[in-house]
Amino acid sequence: MKRSLFVLFASVFFVLGGTAQNSSAFQFLRLPVSAHAAALGGDNVSADDDDPMLAFHNPALLIGMAPGTLGLQYMSYMAGSNLAGVSYNLTPTDRSALAFGAEYLGFGTMRRTDVEGTDTGTFTAKDMALAATYSYALSDTWSGGVTGRFIYSNYDVVYSLALGVDLGVNYLSPDADFSFSLVARQLGGQVKTYDGTHESLPFNLVAGFSKSLTHAPVRFSLTLPNLTRWRAADFYSTDALSTKDLLLRHLIVGVDVFPTETTWLALGYNGQLSRELASTSGIRSLAGFTLGAGINVSRIKVGVAYGRYNVASNSLSMNFSYTL
């Protein structure tokens, strides 16, 4: 049974991963939900922490988290827009876990104009997703997980509906303080299009490793996103990308330092964000760098992170969780 489940996960990864299409629809699903993942470069699929928001990045990680935990998330985004998230997880059996969650990106009220620039009033825009995650321990070291999403997007008078699925596996060796994960995100497509043109979800095949040092409170993480995207066109570029540019777009590195048993500090670098921000805005010195900190006190966990995910503004992420 365990081997059959693992083969199923692997088959789906490589068959669907190889045929997935790039798309501009529902790009809010690429934004980090966990403040800790945001601090580690904007994404992380292998950190085995008791953080309910990490299950948004890899559903297989849910199996190791405390049941009965309520998680809340907030992130300031561009031009006054804000991203919010919520999750609640429970443990149906000793080897499985279930969680429910939601994400909401509100763009606020904006001015509406016609083709001649005449002001015709205001309108609102928003993206949201409702999610259910199930994770199962395939063995003492392997776990698998699946997240199903109902996605809704509304921009003034047009809207779209979509169904999406994330699949993840994780290998965890506590003795070696080593974790490896593979995640296929945003499999699925639109049920209702904006204007009759079908767009796929922003598929992303991601691998990740996390390793703690034996004699120091330090953990290193390497995350490899975009594993099915190796052409300039895959990154919306009309110009040829150098080998260095392509490699950087598949590289996220992060380091955690744990000063005490209840606190963490994190620093990360996201190569794709670095290249995109540098090419569109000329920002180079800190482009792609992220940082954050957190504290775990009794049943309460708090995390904050800084990052830049667009040329318009910086973003501040905050997580709060409480185990009931």
Q: Which CATH class is domain 2-323?
A: mainly beta
Closest CA to 187 of 320, 33, 11: 11
Q: Are 118 and 127 in contact (CB under 8 A)?
A: no
**CB–CB of 102/85 below 8 Å?**
yes
Q: Report whether 134 contacts 61 (CB < 8 A).
A: no
Q: What percent of the chain has a predicted confidence (pLDDT) above 70?
A: 90
Q: Give the DSSP per-residue string, 229-291.
A: --SGGGGT-SSPPPHHHHHHTT-EEEEEE-SSTTEEEEEEEEHHHHHHHHHHH---SSTTEEE
pLDDT digits (tens, 9 = 90+) for 263-272: 999 999 999 8
pLDDT in tens, 10-29: 455 444 444 444 446 898 99
Round to whole Å and give the CA distance between 53 and 59.
Answer: 10
pTM: 0.89
Cβ–Cβ < 8 Å for 64, 99: no
Give the pLDDT confidence of 203-242 residue by residue, as tens digits: 999 999 999 999 999 999 999 999 998 887 777 776 778 8
